[in-house]
Amino acid sequence: MDFLGGNVLPASPETRIYLAGVGVVLVVGLCFSTLSTKKAKDDQNPTLLQSLWLFFYSCFLKPHNGDAKGTQQDALESFYKTQAGAYDATRKALLKGREDMLALAAAQLVFKAKKDGAVSNETRRIWVDVGGGTGWNIETMSRFVDVPNFFDSVYLVDFSPSLCEVARKRFDRLGWRNVKVICQDARKFRLDQYEPVSPGCRSWSPSMGYFTEDGPKHGGASLITMSYSLSMIPDYYSVIDALPSLLAPDGIISVVDFYVQSEVDVSFRNYTGGLIDRHVNFLGRTFWRAWFDIDRVALEPGRRDFLEYRFGTVLNVNARNNILGAIPYYIWLGTHKRPVSPSLPHDVVEKVDALVTESPYLHPANHSAALSRAVEKAAPEIRSKAFDAAIVNLSSNLPLPSSFYQNHHYRIYYDDQLKKHTQFNDEYIYAFTWEDTRVDERILKLKPDDVVLAITSAGDNILSYALQSPARIHAVDLNPTQNHLLELKIAAYSSLQYEDFWKIFGEGKHPDFRSLLISKMSPHLSSRAFQYWLSNHHIFTKSQGGLYDTGGSKHGIRIFRWITRVFGCRSAVKDLLTAKTLNEQREIWRTRIRPALLSRLVSKFVVSQESFLWTALGVPKNQLAIIEQDHALSDAVRGPNATAKNTRSHAIWAYMVSTLDPMVECTHIAADNPYYYVCLEGKFSRRCHPDYLAPKAHARLARSGALDNLRIHTDEMDEVLARMTPGTLTVAVVMDSMDWFDQNSNAAAAQITKLNRALKMGGRVLLRSAGLRPWYLKEFERHGFVSRCVGSREGGKCIDRVNMYASCWICTKRDNLAPPTPDLDSMVGADIASLEI
């Protein structure tokens, strides 16, 4: 290069090529000389520089077709022999997700061990690591369980002698005598060659079939893992087909590997456990398949597809290795395609269906006769959507939807690709529930024989009902993510100590949330819920915000903060949250906060905007119309200035005044109003929080089986009601959802009809409304109900700690409606289809 006047002049192209060539020669020469001088003594413990060179040379320069034998083992040995000692050092950045896969598998095994109790001590716990290579997986598993004591036997099966030799030296160093390294083709591995077979138990050898075959009755491997090995096995069909015969009846198979796949290819499959981040774009699919093909790593979709077809999916994760160019990889946990039960598939399908529909459970042996009687009586069987999906899958020899393979059957199957679910764009509206559960408890007084159906929202109210121990609770929400949030709370109850539980849901943050999600909560979550929270773990781990600064409602909270900053009220808000008495709180509100928050300017240009009302507060246009109608009839707009006052902004302003003024005057926010405390502070306090966050609530709901009476439906309420046995519900809590109906449509009457059908005589509907006397009360009265007001804001009253709604009502069923005329042909057809299980 030439230097002239301090400027650097670029070299000619020929000079740059020459210099680059010299650089490559020097680097290669240095690496080669380093390798040559240290090869003898450092073959198994190369330096970092040697490791990187070996990795580059073996993967991109050295051909690995093997010698004249032309076998798969020969090709593998050609690839791995020169880099066996450097394998672990060079794969940490490339093979992402291995630790997560092991942690998820360990969490499942620990959960099953606790659940089985003494039984687990009588059964040998065996782990088979297929394609285990150097044994890194097995040593790393010791972070999650005590490998020498937790497992009776561990088998590392790999086809590369060089990698197996590294593994043997590893376990000799560790002194783990329960680990056996088997250098063998995975297709030929037989567990009964190494493990004693109990009397009466068939050998664990590969066999074909699905529901027609007899799976292992006892014995077998508790865990089978494949860590970046499935993509390197040419004849993968035979290997995957051999695995079910090795797996114990309640065993887990866990796989992590590269993949490329279009979401379109699997969007119609209901058994994959969810599609979050599964799609890889065309350029990514083309590039990564070509790139990995250099090293005989096959990324064609068929490998993962066949794995998911051959087993039932428990958990499924799609991720990217962002360290190395966003390489797609997946983590998948599965179990036997045929769930473990004496008389399945009927048993699991029928039992779950009965719990969902509140139908009596029929033992499979009596099922056909019962259906025949139903056809004769022209009385159709009531079936859930989960049952319908199961029938479709069984008739096509497909695995059941992943919800059937979960450890808990809280979450009911739903099709997450339907537009009615995707419209929410994977975002919940409410991070906490805007319903005063204390008032609900006082009004409803739930008893042990009550069957409750309620809108999920953020799940706080559902958990409050669970504390009262009714016979069953059906949580219903069309937004999948609202149910994901409820699932997360249930999983946290089941797996976390109170302090961790409090950090996540009390403070809305936990620095170790991701680790707790994988190692503790994952066995208690459905696949879709787990995928969602793993993809959004930053909600709890980022330095700013937290859980209560997320969801649609965050917009309202952020706008309030913006208003207080603009008007210089931030210090007043802090003083409000530390006010020791109600009088002190009132004074701060009246003189320092109210003039800004309830100014006509804010109401006109911010709060009264329809987009803000829906996005931030969840107020749809039909509910807005109720507010405007009530305002038009109120005393506030009568008189000479009636026209000026009868506007949307004035109606919203008056509604806010009726909400906030009585609330501040009657409830102490810092001590006993968690609904507004969390809005102002962004978290709850140990003194002020919802019932479900109390230590006593955690102790109660963390007990084994405490939430077994819960079912979570991701659907419209109409759909859930239509599939429930008539006369089985005793309580329905519909919140303010009736406000959302159009007065000019028949939708409200149709839902009230379904409520009447599903409720027992004397069953109650609890509802809240933005109106003082909502129009649909007349529909309730026309459809067999008697209405009673249990709370009204008339006269400036405060009806609960939220005080967001103008009135609260109980509608009690007094009459049965005439049943609709049955369609005999469709019923008989449906029943015959059910008989084909």
Q: pLDDT digits over 457-498, tens only?
A: 999 999 999 999 999 999 999 999 999 999 999 999 999 999
Looking at the chain, the whole-number percentage of residues with pLDDT higher than 90 is 58
Fill in the DSSP letter of residue 760. Answer: E
Least Cα distance to 224 among 201, 240, 203 occurs for 240
CA distance 626 to 177: 74
Phi, psi of 161 (to 5 degrees): -60, -35
Q: pLDDT digits over 636-662, tens only?
A: 555 555 555 567 777 877 888 899 999
Q: pLDDT digits over 434-462, tens only?
A: 899 999 999 999 999 999 999 999 999 99
List C-alpha distances in Å: 575 to 167, 356, 547, 557, 585.
Answer: 64, 49, 24, 18, 8
List C-alpha distances in Å: 601 to 288, 563, 653.
Answer: 56, 11, 10
CA angle 507, 510, 512 (to 5 degrees): 170
- Residue 110 pLDDT: 96
- Residue 75 pLDDT: 56
Q: pLDDT digits over 321-364, tens only?
A: 988 889 999 999 999 998 654 444 556 777 777 778 887 765 44
- Residue 835 pLDDT: 32
User: Are the C-beta atoms of 357 and 384 separated by less than 8 Å?
Assistant: yes
Sign of CA dihedral 335, 336, 340, 344: positive
Report residue 822 as tokens.
Answer: 């049955």
Q: pLDDT digits over 539-597, tens only?
A: 999 878 899 999 887 877 787 787 788 778 889 999 999 999 999 999 999 999 888 87
Strands 153-158 and 126-130: parallel
- Residue 751 pLDDT: 96
Report residue 802 as tokens.
Answer: 């939220």
Domains for the chain: give ranges and CATH numbers: 2-91 (no CATH), 98-336 (3.40.50.150), 419-514+686-813 (3.40.50.150), 554-681 (no CATH)
Q: pLDDT digits over 143-195, tens only?
A: 999 999 999 999 999 988 888 999 999 999 999 999 999 999 888 898 988 88
Mean pLDDT of 775-801: 95
- Residue 55 pLDDT: 52
Task: Give exposure, 510-547, as e/b (b: 16+ Cβ within 10 Å).
Answer: beebbebbbbbbbbbbbbbbbbbbbebbebbeeeebbb
Using pLDDT thresholds of 50, 70 and 90, give the confidence band for residue 608: low
CA distance 506 to 690: 9
Looking at the chain, the whole-number percentage of residues with pLDDT higher than 70 is 76
Instruction: Give the number of residues written for the chain.
Output: 837
Q: In what order do the strands lie in the sheet with 759-769?
A: 710-713, 472-476, 451-455, 729-735, 759-769, 807-813, 785-792
- Residue 303 pLDDT: 94
Cα 404 to chain centroid, rounded:
15
Q: Which helix (H) or strand (E) holds 527?
A: helix 527-535
- Residue 358 pLDDT: 80
pLDDT of 58 strictly over 80: no
Using pLDDT thresholds of 50, 70 and 90, give the confidence band for residue 833: very low
pLDDT of 59 strictly over 80: no
Q: pLDDT digits over 247-287, tens only?
A: 999 999 999 999 999 988 888 899 999 999 999 999 999 99
